[in-house]
Amino acid sequence: MSTDLTPNPLIPELLALLREHPDGISEFSLMKALEQHPAFADLADEYQLRLFQKHFMIMHGLYTLQTRLWYEEQLRVEISPLSVRLYTEMIAETCDEACLPGAGDTLREYYLDWQQLSATSAEDVQKLLRGFWNFCADPDARRSAFQTLELDEDASQEQIRARYRQLAARLHPDKGGDSEAFIEVRRAYELLRAGS
């Protein structure tokens, strides 16, 4: 799918915000900074659907920038729930779509499909939220997350955060680590943060 076919009105402001925050910025901070953007004026009245639509537009813009900046300026956009960051990285001139950050990432593909914005109803958002909280409350999922982080199940949030940072530093693909293991560690960390 070509992201250039769907102009996202948030892209110029998102890029400016990323450049203003070289150490990273949270999605929440991006949403607050863009709160008065005209693109948000005609969204749904229902609160949770409206919040989802804002989130979707921001994520679509970030993933679009991830692709554009990789090819146009050899800059990389790292997208995670806690921080979005713009940084430079040397890339091979022969690099193709397979080495694009996030290539093969189904979440990325979802957010790059602009039709998801209008196709998602308030009921869909409620189902997503219920599924998320059910997953977070699932003791087997939590147990597995603790195992992934190699922590006891009574670990504090500080211990979880410290262990995540330790593993992320070792496994991050940009530091020569295992990208699949890094993703699993990230998922485990997000699950344990959300369920606290």
**Per the structure block, which two tokens stand in for 41?**
């004026």
- Domain containing 180: what range? 133-196
Domain of 164, CATH number, reads: 1.10.287.110
Q: Which of 19, 104, 1, 16 is nearest to 60 (CA)?
A: 1
Same domain, 32 and 118: yes
CA distances from 124 to 27, 50, 131, 158 (A): 21, 12, 11, 34
Question: pLDDT tens digits for the chain (196 residues)?
Answer: 344 445 899 999 999 999 999 889 999 899 999 999 999 998 888 888 888 899 999 999 999 999 899 888 888 888 876 789 998 665 545 455 555 666 556 778 888 888 888 888 888 887 777 666 555 566 777 888 899 999 998 898 889 989 988 888 888 766 777 777 777 888 888 778 765 5
pLDDT given at position 94:
47
Q: What is the pTM of this model?
A: 0.63
Looking at 123, 145, 169, the residue that finishes a domain is 123
**Per the structure block, which two tokens stand in for 167?**
């593993």
Looking at 93, 123, 153, the residue that finishes a domain is 123
Whether 128 is covered by a domain: the verdict is no
Paired strand residues for 84? 25, 79
**Per the structure block, which two tokens stand in for 98?**
């397979």
Same domain, 119 and 89: yes
Structural domains of the chain, count: 2
pLDDT given at position 191:
77
Same domain, 152 and 111: no
Q: For residues 13 and 11, what is the distance between their CA atoms, to the nearest angstrom?
A: 6
